[in-house]
Amino acid sequence: MKKKNLSVKRKIRNFYYKKLDDPRIKRIYLHFKKKLSNHNTPNCFCVAVSGGADSMALSFLAKCYSLENNKKVYFFIIDHKLRKNSTLEANLVKKKLKSFQISSNILTIKKKRKISTNVQSFARDNRYELIIKQSLIKNIDMILTAHHSDDLIENFFIRLLRGSGLKGLISFSKIKSKVKLDDAIFILRPLIDIPKKDLIYISKKTFNFHVNDPSNLDDKFLRVKVRKLISNLEQDGLTFNNFKLSLNNLSKSNYAIDYYVQKNINDNSSYLKAKKTIILKVDFLRQPDEIVFRSFSEVIQKVGKKDNFARGAKVENLIKYLRSINNYSKKTLSGCIIQKIQNSVVIYPEKS
């Protein structure tokens, strides 16, 4: 390697390590490093970069980690095409990262139609779809995201407003979760316990750059309304520690329910692997409602091989139908055919 290249490499390494002399940044980096170590982060992973302050902070922390541990890290910037300046912003983020010796790739969402509703949901789903596609190509099995404690609280309230059950309310609190049912790719949220203000601090003190998303101030989005609600609640005493305590208590309850869900599946169902069929015994539907609901949702997902569970209302209606005495006609749900035969229920895949 030429002396000039060695000098540049040494200079950039010193830049990152010097920033870690800041006590606040070092504390967060040590927290970040511990989360990656606790979840067996592989030698190759990727970082989802939006250009916001939180993802720029994550980029800094991931770069430090890669330098210290000789890890290969891919940085993926998403051009969502939902704003006229999105391509300009993506290129600007790429240029800024490059100036700090971070090589990145821009992944562009191809918008086939005008999106007027669920814009943020559309952007999120397509963002993950693109990153997963690239991860499969490059044999990456872990995606790091910059979700933080503010996101955790916001998602709880959003799901509460949408009528989510216990499992839905706590699902976002998991540090590590699977992206898709059939893909061995995981999302890791190593900053889920860190407040956004700390990530803004890191972004400002390191790269001194981030992109402002105007949608974060637009009241037409539920997330913005919830954010303002939380801000008011904080003035009345809502703290992250109190919220986390309640979330931990809910998680314990959810763990207990999951135990009986798995017991119901193990004791009261049979899987015929050759036929890809599950047979439910009569006692499967005789358990408490929440146990039956979750158990049934899991077996439907397993047979139908869907990434997401079937909608709750449809599952509840089908369970009610199966619990009735004289209903034996075939029903379909989430890629499955469900039929009651005497006292059993047979579930098998729809033919493609």
Q: Using a pLDDT cut of 70, give the percent of the chain over it.
A: 93
- The answer on 286 and 212 residing in a single domain is no
The length of the chain is 352
**Distance between CA atoms of 62 and 76, rounded to whole angstroms?**
13
Last residue of a domain, one of 238, 253, 286: 238
Q: What global pTM score does this model have?
A: 0.82
pLDDT digits (tens, 9 = 90+) for 249-262: 999 999 999 999 99
**SS3 category, 332:** strand
Query: For the residues of 59-88, what is the DSSP string, one character each?
Result: HHHHHHHHHHHT-EEEEEEEE--SSTTHHH
DSSP code for 351? P
pLDDT at position 122: 67
pLDDT at position 4: 57
Indicate whether 329 belongs to any domain: yes
* Domain of residue 158, CATH code: 3.40.50.620
Write the burial class of residue 316 (CB in 10 Å: 0-12 exposed, 13-18 middle, 19+ buried): middle
Residue 87 confidence (pLDDT) above 60:
yes
Lowest average pLDDT, out of 99-108, 195-204, 241-250, 292-301, goes to: 241-250
In the chain, the amino acid numbered 220 is: K
Range among 24-33, 151-160, 208-217, 316-325 with highest mean pLDDT value? 24-33
Q: Which of 159, 177, 158, 163 is nearest to 316 (CA)?
A: 163
pLDDT at position 117: 54
Indicate whether 255 belongs to any domain: no
Indicate whether 208 belongs to any domain: yes
- The answer on 163 and 94 residing in a single domain is yes
The answer to whether the beta carbons of residues 269 and 284 sit under 8 Å apart is yes
**Distance between CA atoms of 212 and 53, rounded to whole angstroms?**
8
- The answer on 216 and 88 residing in a single domain is yes
Q: How far is CA 126 from the centre of its chain?
A: 13
Last residue of a domain, one of 189, 219, 238: 238
- The answer on 221 and 327 residing in a single domain is no
- The answer on 306 and 215 residing in a single domain is no
- The answer on 58 and 101 residing in a single domain is yes
Sorting pLDDT into bands at 50, 70 and 90, what band is 41?
confident
**Distance between CA atoms of 291 and 185, rounded to whole angstroms?**
28
- The answer on 212 and 146 residing in a single domain is yes
Number of domains forming the structure of the chain? 2
- In DSSP terms, 142 is beta-bridged to 186
- The answer on 83 and 152 residing in a single domain is yes
pLDDT at position 1: 52
Structure tokens at 173: 């609190």
DSSP code for 345? E
**Distance between CA atoms of 13 and 8, rounded to whole angstroms?**
9
The answer to whether the beta carbons of residues 349 and 304 sit under 8 Å apart is yes
Indicate whether 248 belongs to any domain: no
**Domain enclosing residue 280, as ranges:** 265-349
- The answer on 206 and 291 residing in a single domain is no
Indicate whether 254 belongs to any domain: no
Indicate whether 318 belongs to any domain: yes
The contacts of residue 16 (CB under 8 Å, 6+ apart) are 60, 63, 64, 67
Indicate whether 253 belongs to any domain: no
Q: To the nearest whole number, what is the mean pLDDT of the chain? A: 88
Indicate whether 122 belongs to any domain: yes
- The answer on 313 and 207 residing in a single domain is no
Distances (CA, A) of 320 to 285, 325, 336: 9, 10, 17
- The answer on 30 and 165 residing in a single domain is yes
- The answer on 231 and 162 residing in a single domain is yes
The answer to whether the beta carbons of residues 4 and 36 sit under 8 Å apart is no
